Amino acid sequence: MSDIHIDDFYKDVGLIFLRLYANFPRKTTLYVDDISGPDTPDDFGLHSDRFLACFGAMVWLKEHGYIDFEAPIKQEAIDQANLSHKAFLMLSSRSNLDFEEDEIPDHLPHSVKELSMTNVTQLRKAIRSRSSSQIRKCVHYLLSTSAVYD
């Protein structure tokens, strides 16, 4: 049985990577509810555990050198966020994973085939699958191999 909070962490990390990769090299404001979904604060205005866990994933990624940001905006967003050098290299490198959706046609140029074999492409496929096990496998692979890029 899987720990749901760990599956949520992997999904959050994957979505954070994809959002920042899509904006790279520009800095952007990354809102927690864009990653975790809408929040349902309690009667005192305190955020839900799910929302706070997503914010915690953002802080964890910074503490471990995957992303940079200037400052949190309360617990609702991170300002001037960007991928670190390590994360950019990790995502743009060739992957040993292969979540096949469709066969790559032979007539495609070599450069297109190479792009389809990158870590970011595999992460996109895992996220699109909506499979917790694929997302977990992909993000775990990325985090465990990232030491190469330090």
Q: Three-state DSSP class for 11?
A: helix
* Predicted TM-score (pTM) of this structure: 0.89
Structure tokens at 128: 């699109």
* Mean of all residue pLDDT scores within the chain: 89
Window from 23-27, 36-40, 68-72, 108-112 with minimum mean pLDDT: 108-112
pLDDT value, residue 104: 58
Whether residue 140 is predicted with pLDDT greater than 60 in this model: the reply is yes
pLDDT value, residue 9: 98
Higher pLDDT, 105 or 31: 31
DSSP string, 12-73: HHHHHHHHHHHHTTS-EEEEHHHHH------TT-PPPHHHHHHHHHHHHHHHTTSEE-SEEE
What pLDDT, in 10s, does the model give residues 91-120?
999 988 876 655 555 665 656 555 668 999
